[in-house]
Structure 1
């Protein structure tokens, strides 16, 4: 039982939950709304730096700092989502990649973010006078994750989620059905970014030190691999993909295989992720839990909904 509560294993689960929150946000953007993003780590970093700056430099209470960081990330993500109104598919992927690199460069060179030195001494949140550390922080994150999953489920099963899925299949069809594509595209970037912002803030207060290296392209690529392999447009897929790909390197660290040089584990990890992506694109492009035929199902459902409401539009 003591081994189960070993700080090392607890930390593994803590960071796994943080990645699940990131995956949920990215799956909203890419899986449900079809807006390919290669810069999701930027939203992650915005949340982390916002909370760190507010709690360390502005001396705000960590809970208030976390809340404001989520709001800040929501607003900035909505602004950064505006290019999705003009570009699509490959061009959108390249645009988001560029934005991610620009934001990481800002983190690395700006004085407010501590430049290359980052920000340290980030305080740990307290509840009823007790610092949330080790198991208490894990329990708190589990509650946050369950709330996040519930919120995604409710959104994707609502009018908003149906609009996102039609936009994913065909922008023109969505517009012809009266869906305000501008509003829904910006909204999905804002909400997906808010999830990443929450994950970033929780990450910052867990590790107590952040630098720009934690929010680079490798994180965005890893997250996209997790979401695609698990299944686009599927909560189960996100949970599965993130859990398997995040825990895989930990499995190698735990058992210390002699045929693997642990110094190159990160390189092996990216090679495995890349190979899995190629195999999934070849044999199961929708991912393990991804849904098929969404275009026909959603179009039929929306036509039926409009007929029942006498031609009332979604937006």
Structure 2
């Protein structure tokens, strides 16, 4: 049971990060391959402030959010002069820079990372895995709520207009720079909070945890689930967290199975498993729209 709870918490936290990534990669259409860096900034600042400076779990959460959000705003400012492939390459470089800082700067503990994070305390009770499960569900609900508010607002509509054609949006008077920078800041802020919770959950962090491979995995989760949709972000994150665990018994071939699965989905269902216009989404939509059979009238019964 403990193992199942650990996997569940991990999957839910990954879902929260992927939903936050969808704000930029999905809604704003920016190919962000640095989300793991913001996730890591939140985790590292939470760990440093807790272990080295004795701050409580609850007090480090806003600090982790602020630091990651500011870093995201900087990336958003950088993105103003870059487009598509060039921006994607820039985010890759940023991820490597952040990981290099984690490894080389003593403030972040160097290559060995940071260990021994204290358990959060609620009242006089130290957290257990059950507490982390509840907290992760609440955190996912908050991130989803923020994403839904953004999606259904005029702000989200402007982000999607920028995604479809940035030049046209700018020609119509939309403040593209402000919208892109704010989207990155909000996305990174949410990832930073999740990173802080993740650091306390696993109680130790190392630079490799937040490397480029993790950013690729996060974006893969979003694409496979269905980029641009909240349900796709959650399904992709949960599925790609569980698949490696399900094939743990075949550790030598686990990555092979994982890779084949990615290729098949991208080849035959590029919209994602539950994304807009996917076969599954169309099927569910068709079932919901199917008219229910009407009851016979008394005249028809008499016949």
Q: Same fold (TM over 0.5)?
A: yes
Residue 119 of structure 1 is matched in structure 2 by 114
In the superposition, relative to structure 1, how do residues 223 and 60 fare at CA in structure 2: closer, same or farther (>3 Å)? same
In the alignment, what sits opposite 1:77?
Answer: 72
Deviations 1:150-196 (A, max 9, x none): 11101111011101100000001111222110001001111111121
C-alpha displacement of 1:269: 5.6
Please, which of 273, 289, 294 is the counterpart of residue 274 of structure 2?
A: 289
Please give the alpha-carbon distance, in whole angstroms, between the structure 2 residues aligned to 1:275 and 1:287: 12
Structure 1 match to 2:62: 67
- Paired with 2:243 and 2:76, the residues of 1 have a C-alpha distance of 32
Q: Secondary structure of the residue that 2:108 maps to in structure 1? A: coil
Instruction: Give CA-to-partner distance per residue, 1:193-221, whole Å, 9 cap, x none.
Output: 11211111011001111010100111111
Q: 2:215 aligns with which of 207, 215, 220?
A: 220
Does the residue aligned with 1:288 lie in a helix, a strand or coil?
A: coil
Aligned-partner Cα distance in 2 for 1:289–1:192: 22
The match for 1:131 is: 126
- Pairwise mapping of residues 304-315 of structure 1 onto structure 2 (< 5 A)? none
On the 8 A contact 2:47/2:114 being kept in 1, the answer is yes
**Shift in Å, 1:273:** 5.5
The gaps in structure 2 that reach 5 residues or longer are: 278-303
**Alpha carbons 1:52, 1:122 under 8 Å: kept:** yes
* Misfit runs of 4+, over 6 Å: none
> What SS is found at the alignment partner of 2:107?
coil
Structure 1 residue 175 corresponds to structure 2 residue 170: yes
Structure 2 match to 1:108: 103
Q: Does 1:7 align with 2:2?
A: yes
Deviation at 1:271, TM superposition (A): 2.2
- Pair member with larger Rg: 2
- Structure 2 matches for 1:28-43, cutoff 5 A? 28-43=23-38
Task: Give the one of 130, 134, 142 matched to 2:137.
Answer: 142
What's the TM-score once normalised by structure 2's chain length? 0.87
Rounded to whole Å, the distance in 2 between the matches of 1:272 and 1:102 is 30
Residues 19 and 242, structure 1, Cα contact 8 Å, conserved in 2: yes
Task: Report how far residue 70 of structure 1 moved.
Answer: 0.8
Judged with a 3 Å threshold, the aligned counterparts in structure 2 of structure 1 residues 35 and 110 are, in CA distance, closer, same or farther, namely: same
Q: In 2, are the aligned partners of 1:225 and 1:273 still within 8 Å (CA)?
A: no
CA apart distance, 1:127:
0.8
1:238 counterpart SS class? helix
Q: Distance in 2 between matches of 1:159 and 1:106?
A: 38
Matched pairs, number: 277
Superposition deviation, residue 119 in structure 1: 0.6
In the TM superposition, residue 14 of structure 1 has moved relative to its aligned partner by: 0.6
Deviation at 1:274, TM superposition (A): 4.4
SS at match of 1:226: helix
1-side partners of 2:45 and 2:261: how far apart?
30
Name the CA distance, whole Å, in 2 between partners of 1:8 and 1:191. 32
